[in-house]
Amino acid sequence: MAAKSIEPEFVITRVLEAPRELVFRAWTDPGHMARWSGPRGFTCTCEIDPRPGGAYRLVMRSEDGVDYPISGVFREVVEPERLVMTMDPTGHPAQWHDLVNPNRGDDPNPAGQLITTATFEDLGSRTRLTVRTRFESDAIRDAMLKMGMTEGWSQSLERLEELVAKI
Partner 1 sequence: MSPDRLDMTFSALADPTRRAILARLASGEASVTELARPFEMSLPAVSKHLKVLERAGLIARGREAQWRPSRLEAGPLKDVADWVDHYRKFWDESLDRLEVYLKELQAQGKKDGRKKH
Q: Which stretch binds partner 1 (CB under 8 A): 48-56, 77-85, 159-167?
A: 159-167
* 124 binds partner 1 per the rule CB under 8 A: no
Give the contacts of 17 (CB within 8 A, at least 6 positions apart): 125, 126
111 three-state secondary structure: coil
User: Using CB under 8 A, which of 6, 78, 123, 147 touches partner 1?
Assistant: 147
55 three-state secondary structure: strand
CB of 146 to partner 1, least distance (A): 4
Q: Give the nearer residue to partner 1 in terms of CB position, either 53 or 124.
A: 124
User: Using CB under 8 A, which of 65, 148, 150, 151 touches partner 1?
Assistant: 148
Interface mask toward partner 1 for 53-82; x: CB under 8 A: ------------------------------
88 three-state secondary structure: strand
90 three-state secondary structure: coil
43 three-state secondary structure: strand
Q: Which 84-123 positions form the footprint of partner 1 (CB under 8 A)? A: 99-103
Closest CA to 33 of 25, 79, 114: 25
Give the count of residues interacting with partner 1 (CB under 8 A): 41
